[in-house]
Chain A
Amino acid sequence: MPYTAEKPPPARTSEELRATIPGWGVDLDPRDRPSVPREQPSTHLTGAHWDFPERQPEKWPRERSVEHKFLTPVFGTATPPRGLSGGIRKAAYRYSEGRTAHWLLLVLADRVDAQESHLRSFLTLRPDNPITQTGVLSELRHHPIRSRFGVKRTDLVHQSLDPVVVAGPWVLAGAAVYVVGRRVLRSLRGLMR
C-alpha cells in the first residue's frame, strides 16, 4: 500500500525463489554485473593496437553528418546514393541530426528510392515480384488462420493495411497517370479543334 510506509510482503521469499528458479540470485550484487560501472577504462581489453585507426580509402564522396569533424576512419560502403533519391539524401546531410529536415528528407528519399528502384527493375532481367518478395506464399504452410483467429492479438487491425503500403504507391501512381493523361489528351483535342 503506497498510503502507508511499509512495503508489501513479497509473494515468495528469496529462499523459495532460489529453490525453484535455476540461477536465481547468481548476479545479486548490483556492482558485480557486466557493464558496471557504465563507464570504465577498457582499452587494454579490446584487442585494438592503435590510438587512432588507419583510414579506410574513400572511394566516392561519402555522405556524412555535419556533426562529425571529419569522415570516420572506418565506414560502410553499401549502396552509394544514386538517382533522384541519392540527390535528396545528399541534401539531407546538409542538416545536422538535430534538425527535423534531416530525417524527413531521408524518409522522403527512402520512399523515392523504393519507387525508382521498382521502375529500374523493369529494365532488368529480374523485375520486382511483389508476390515472392513479400513472402506471402509462406502463408499457405504456416497456419494463417490458426495464427490469427481465436486469439486475442491486436495487430490484425493494422496488418490488414500492409497490402495497402505495398500496393498503395502503385495505385496512386496509376491514378495520377490516368488523371494527367486525360488532361493532356483533352487539351490536345482542344488545340486540334
Chain B
Amino acid sequence: MRAMVYRGPYKVRVEDKAPPPIEHPNDAIVRVTLGAICGSDLHLYHGMMPDTRVGMTFGHEFIGVVEQVGSSVQSLKPGDRVMVPFNIFCGTCYFCARGLYSNCHNVNPNATAVGGIYGYSHTCGGYDGGQAELVRVPFADVGPTVIPDWMDDEDAVMLTDACPTGYFGAQLGDIVEGDVVVVFGAGPVGLFAAKSAWLMGAGRVVVIDHLEYRLEKARTFAHAETFNFTEYDDIVVHLKKVTDHLGADVVIDAVGAEADGSFLQHVTTAKLKLQGGSPVALNWAIDSVRKGGTVSVVGAYGPLFSAVKFGDALNKGLTLRMNQCPVKRQWPRLFEHVRNGYLKPRDLVTHRIPLEHIAEGYHIFSSKLDGCIKPLVVPDGY
C-alpha cells in the first residue's frame, strides 16, 4: 500500500509499505478514503516529539471503509463507512470506565502519562497512522462509528479531531452566560473553540493570532473580535485595556508547543528541542485571564518541561483545565450541532492534497502558505 513516511525533521515521502495485518482479535483494517494533517502533526514533522522514528506513518484524522475485521469484532463488518476518533482506547480500563477515553491505560506501553494516538510517535503508543491507504484500527468495537448517511465526508473527517477538540477547549473553560472568552490561536482548533464558546453562551469572543488570513476567518466563521499580536507592543496589556483592566473570564490556549511571539522561546523549543514546548501563548493566557478565572489548554505540549509562569497562576487563583479531547464522548452532541447547522466543520478546509503529494501538503501547512488553514489528504482513487 502507499503510505506517508517520516524521514527526519521537515522531511516526509510516500512509500510502498506492507499492508497492516490484524494484530489483535478486536482489530479492524480500514481503507482510508479521506485523511487530514493536524497542527499536532507539525510537532512531529518538526521533530519535537520524543521517540518519533524514521519510517513511521503519521495521521490521526481519517475516515474510511472497513476492509477486514478480527475474530472478536461484533459491531462492524467489511464495507462499513466509518469515522475514527484520534484516540485509541480500550473501553474498560480504570480511565475508560470513567469516560476518560483519551487517557486509556491499556493501549500505550511506552508512556503511562499519555493515551494511544494513531500515527503520533512511540510516546503515544507506536501506532502507524491514517495518512496511508490502509490503517490498523485497534478496538474496532469501541472507537469507530459508522458515518451517518446525512453526514458529509469532509465534516466527518473534521469531527475526528479538530472540531471536537475546539469544542472541548471551550467546554474546559466552564463558560457561563456573558463570559468574556479569549482564544489564542486561529488554527482549526482555535476557530472551533471560538465558535463553540458562543454555543455555551459567551458574551464576547476574542481571537488572537499573527496570521491575518486566519484572523479574517475568525471574524467570518467564528463571529469573533480579533487582534493581531504583532500590532501591539504587549498583547497582555492590550487585552487588559479592552476588558476594563479586569482580564478575560476564560482564556483558551489553542496554540501549543510551537507558539510564536518570542524568538528565544521558539528557537529553544522548536529548533533546539530544549523545552517540551514554547510557553508563550500559555503564559499570555495566564497573564491575560482575570483573577479567579479559568485557563483551558488544548494546545499540545511535549513531555519535557516548559518555562510556564506557574507563580502567576497560583497568585491569581486560576483554574487550569486541560486534556487530550475524548472525541467519542463529544460526538452525539456535535453530530446534532452539525446537523442543525450550528457547526459547519468543512468550512475550514482550504486544501485537498493527493496522498502522493503529501510532502508538499506538509510544507504548505507548516509554512502557512497560500491561506492554508486545514489541508485534507486524499488517497489515490478517491
Binding site for B on A (CB under 8 A): 1-3, 8, 10-12, 14, 17, 20-28, 30, 33-36, 38-43, 46-54, 56-57, 62-65, 67-68, 71-79, 81, 85, 89, 92-93, 97, 100, 103-104, 106-107, 109-111, 113-118, 121, 126, 128-130, 132-139, 142-144, 147-148, 151-155, 157-159, 161-162, 165-166
A82 to B92 alpha-carbon distance, docked (Å): 33
Given contacts A42-B96, A110-B50, A152-B210, contact A65 B112 (CB under 8 A): yes
A133 B13 Cβ-Cβ under 8 A:
yes
Contact for A8 among B75, B92, B246, CB less than 8 A: B246
B363 A138 Cβ-Cβ under 8 A:
yes
Chain A nearest Cβ from B270, distance in angstroms: 7
A55 to B15 alpha-carbon distance, docked (Å): 30
Chain B residue, CB-CB nearest to A66: B112
Q: For window 280-318 of chain B, which residues contact chain A by CB distance below 8 Å?
A: 290, 302-305
A70 to B8 alpha-carbon distance, docked (Å): 31
Which of A33, A111, A165 has most B Cβ within 10 Å? A33
Q: For window 330-382 of chain B, which residues contact chain A by CB distance below 8 Å?
A: 330-334, 337, 340-343, 357, 359-364, 367-371
Interface CB pairs A-B, < 8 A, 24: A1-B244, A10-B204, A26-B337, A28-B177, A30-B176, A35-B329, A36-B171, A38-B99, A46-B101, A47-B91, A48-B142, A57-B23, A65-B110, A65-B112, A67-B112, A75-B126, A106-B50, A110-B50, A113-B54, A138-B361, A153-B211, A153-B230, A154-B261, A162-B10
A106 to B330 alpha-carbon distance, docked (Å): 33
Counting residue pairs across A and B whose Cβ atoms lie within 8 Å, the total is 329
Flag whether B148 is at the interface (Cβ < 8 A): no
B201 A28 Cβ-Cβ under 8 A:
yes
Flag whether B109 is at the interface (Cβ < 8 A): yes
Chain A nearest Cβ from B234, distance in angstroms: 14
Flag whether B175 is at the interface (Cβ < 8 A): yes
Contacts of B167 in A (CB 8 A): 34
Given contacts A113-B53, A117-B55, contact A42 B203 (CB under 8 A): no
A134 B92 Cβ-Cβ under 8 A:
no
Contacts of B362 in A (CB 8 A): 135
Interface string of B23-40 (1 = CB under 8 A from A): 111100000000000000
Contacts of B53 in A (CB 8 A): 78-79, 81, 85, 110, 113
Chain A residue, CB-CB nearest to B15: A126
B363 A110 Cβ-Cβ under 8 A:
no
Which of A35, A93, A104, A155 has most B Cβ within 10 Å? A35
A109 to B25 alpha-carbon distance, docked (Å): 33
A74 B138 Cβ-Cβ under 8 A:
yes
Contact for A2 among B47, B244, B361, CB less than 8 A: B244
B244 A50 Cβ-Cβ under 8 A:
no
Chain A nearest Cβ from B183, distance in angstroms: 15
Contact for A23 among B13, B72, B199, B368, CB less than 8 A: B199
Contacts of B96 in A (CB 8 A): 42-43, 46, 48
Binding site for A on B (CB under 8 A): 7-13, 15, 23-26, 47, 50-57, 72, 74-75, 88-92, 96-101, 105-113, 116, 122-123, 125-128, 138-139, 141-142, 167-168, 171, 174-178, 196, 198-201, 203-204, 210-213, 223, 228-231, 243-247, 260-261, 263, 266-267, 270-271, 273, 290, 302-305, 326, 329-334, 337, 340-343, 357, 359-364, 367-371
Chain A residue, CB-CB nearest to B96: A46
A132 B99 Cβ-Cβ under 8 A:
no
A152 B113 Cβ-Cβ under 8 A:
no
A130 to B47 alpha-carbon distance, docked (Å): 15
Contacts of A65 in B (CB 8 A): 109-112
Given contacts A11-B204, A72-B105, contact A47 B142 (CB under 8 A): yes
Chain A nearest Cβ from B87, distance in angstroms: 12
A133 B109 Cβ-Cβ under 8 A:
no
Contacts of B142 in A (CB 8 A): 46-48
Apart from A2-B247, A46-B92, A64-B110, list 16 A-B contacts with CB within 8 A. A1-B244, A1-B245, A10-B178, A14-B178, A27-B196, A34-B333, A47-B142, A53-B26, A75-B107, A76-B126, A77-B126, A117-B8, A135-B361, A136-B363, A138-B357, A147-B368
Chain A nearest Cβ from B20, distance in angstroms: 8
A73 to B92 alpha-carbon distance, docked (Å): 12
A79 B56 Cβ-Cβ under 8 A:
yes
B98 A75 Cβ-Cβ under 8 A:
no
Contact for A71 among B8, B109, B113, CB less than 8 A: B109
B50 A64 Cβ-Cβ under 8 A:
no
Contacts of B367 in A (CB 8 A): 147, 159, 162
Contacts of B50 in A (CB 8 A): 103, 106-107, 110
Given contacts A53-B92, A74-B138, A76-B127, contact A142 B57 (CB under 8 A): no
